[in-house]
Amino acid sequence: MLFSSLPFLLGFLPLFFIIYFTVKSRSARNIVLLIFSMVFYAWGEPFYIILMIFSIAINYYFAVFIDKSHQTQNQKNAKTLMIFSVIINLTLIGIFKYADFIVNIFTGIFGFEHIKIDIPLPIGISFYTFQILSYVIDVYRKKVPVQKNIFFIGTYLAGFPQLIAGPIVRYETIAHELEHRIENMDDFAVGLRRFTAGLAKKILIANTMAELCDNILLKYSDGLANSIGSIGMWFAIIAYTLQIYYDFSGYSDMAIGMGRMMGFHYLENFNYPYISKSVTEFWRRWHISLSTIFRDYVYIPLGGNRVKLMRWIFNMLIVWLLTGLWHGAAWTFILWGIYFGILLIIEKQFLSKNILKIPVLNRIYALSAFIFGWIIFRAESISHIGTILSAMFGKSGSGNLVELSQNGLIKPLHIIMLIIGIICFMPVSKKIKEYLEQNKNLIYIIDIASVIAVILCVIMLAQGAYNPFIYFRF
């Protein structure tokens, strides 16, 4: 079930909040949240609800036994349990997400026939596995207290706002709120506005950009290369650059908003990444929860930057190889991760002393780096990267904007949303919102805009608007 779907918006979410606020005790509300979260997950993956329950149970007991080992001063046993937890969780991801990729690497090496291992990928497995692993490791590190109530752990892991595509919520962020959160109308109103903003990002901007990008790439492959040309391909890639940002940040906004409506205060996951002046800054602003996971549980344990140069380069490449693999079992994702790893190394060693200090030039460099990265990310194969790049730089001519419009590949709505998307990835909307919030007589403008946005989103969904979601199966 997608947040940006009519069954969720008009059925699941209203029913949840009616029942949630009908019960009064904290334990009862957590159980309501847990039950609805299981229904939400089972809606799309009824069989894999067993995997979710297994993950909750096995990691709950690992954390409990690790805590008992700490109490008896048996640190060796605690470490062994933590390692087993990591192995089991990563094995599950390996089986469901990477089995086909790994097997076919070996069949290719030894010249055997391609073997198709058709195992459906459980929705959100990368997100919830990293989330529960961070909890177990933090219990081992004594950073967080162990949670003795298995239903609370289930609520933490399976909470439907962040279950499918993050943000990856660390246990320490909501440990107190699991048992002692306070819901109030102010938080509910703030959360509802945030949810609405995310919904508008997803439906109005991301979906429109997805239609523009996918249509052009598909038609280019179908033999319309000359009419599409470099103009059309640049439109497609810029559209994808906006799509992936508004798609993912929109989902995070909806998750953060729903959490706030329930009294949870999830951390921010995006902070206007496209205004960055370097790739280093970009990764401090983009998918912040994933970046901090890799920093705290991979990069720092490897030694971070407190090592010799060659070891630091090795650490960086390992982290970014794993980051690429986390996104998917394909050579394009591996290349994407290594690409950013190498760029970050070059920035640290060379560019930080010159290009990154030059105003305007640093932004042009950074934006070009992001866009090229998204080409790798979007490409269906390594060769497809070359196809896109050659089209962008004129292999099939400049293209024909009029013909693109006549063929319905570029519509007025696409241009309008592209312009709005470019404006809104800058902190303009944030400053307007802050101004309105500081003037209580004008706060109603936000609510009017929210109502209009919801109406437009419902209309588009009712008309069967294009509604993909990039991170749905990561």
Helix (H, G, I), strand (E, B) or coil at 169: coil
**80 exposure class (CB count in 10 Å sphere: 0-12, 13-18, 19+):** middle
Model confidence at 205: pLDDT above 90:
yes
What's the pLDDT tens digit per position in 218-249?
887 766 666 788 888 999 999 999 999 999 99
pLDDT band, residue 101 (cuts 50/70/90): confident
Model confidence at 113: pLDDT above 80:
no
Q: How far is CA 363 from CA 237, 277, 278, 337, 368, in A?
A: 18, 5, 7, 21, 8
Rg (CA), the chain: 23
Average of per-residue pLDDT values in the chain: 90
Helix (H, G, I), strand (E, B) or coil at 230: helix
Residue 193 CB partners (closer than 8 Å, separation 6+): 257, 446, 447, 450
**Interval 165-170 mean pLDDT:** 87
Model confidence at 466: pLDDT above 80:
no
Model confidence at 92: pLDDT above 60:
yes
Supply angle C-alpha 423, 268, 452, rounded to 5.
Answer: 50
**CA nearest to 249, candidates 293, 289, 297, 190:** 289
What's the pLDDT tens digit per position in 46-74?
888 999 999 999 999 999 999 999 999 99
Residue 145 CA, distance from chain mean position? 27
Measured CA to CA, the distance from residue 263 to residue 110 in angstroms comes to: 55
Number of other CB atoms surrounding residue 88 within 10 Å: 16
Instruction: Please say whether the beta carbons of 278 and 356 come within 8 A.
Output: yes
Residue 463 CB partners (closer than 8 Å, separation 6+): none
Question: Percentages helix, strand, coil for the chain, rounded to the nearest 5?
Answer: 75, 0, 25
Q: Show the tokens assigned to 306.
A: 């407190």
What's the pLDDT tens digit per position in 349-389?
988 888 888 888 999 999 999 999 999 999 999 999 998 99
State what percent of residues in the chain have pLDDT above 90: 64
> At which residue do the structure tokens 């030039």 appear?
361
Instruction: Please say whether the beta carbons of 213 and 236 come within 8 A.
Output: yes
pLDDT at 173: 93
**98 exposure class (CB count in 10 Å sphere: 0-12, 13-18, 19+):** middle
Measured CA to CA, the distance from residue 32 to residue 176 in angstroms comes to: 18
Lowest model confidence (mean pLDDT) among 43-52, 244-253, 415-424: 43-52
pLDDT at 104: 82
Measured CA to CA, the distance from residue 370 to residue 341 in angstroms comes to: 13
Sign of CA dihedral 167, 170, 173, 175: positive
Model confidence at 408: pLDDT above 70:
yes
Based on the residue annotation, tell me whether 287 is a catalytic residue of this protein. Answer: no
**163 exposure class (CB count in 10 Å sphere: 0-12, 13-18, 19+):** buried
Instruction: Please say whether the beta carbons of 127 and 168 come within 8 A.
Output: yes
Question: pTM of whole model > 0.85?
Answer: yes
Model confidence at 206: pLDDT above 90:
yes
> At which residue do the structure tokens 């499918």 appear?
164
Helix (H, G, I), strand (E, B) or coil at 61: helix
Number of other CB atoms surrounding residue 194 within 10 Å: 21
Of the residues 176, 180, 327, 414, only one is catalytic, namely: 327
Measured CA to CA, the distance from residue 325 to residue 331 in angstroms comes to: 9
> At which residue do the structure tokens 């009064």 appear?
24
**Interval 417-442 mean pLDDT:** 84
Model confidence at 115: pLDDT above 80:
no
Model confidence at 325: pLDDT above 80:
yes
pLDDT at 98: 87
Measured CA to CA, the distance from residue 136 to residue 297 in angstroms comes to: 12
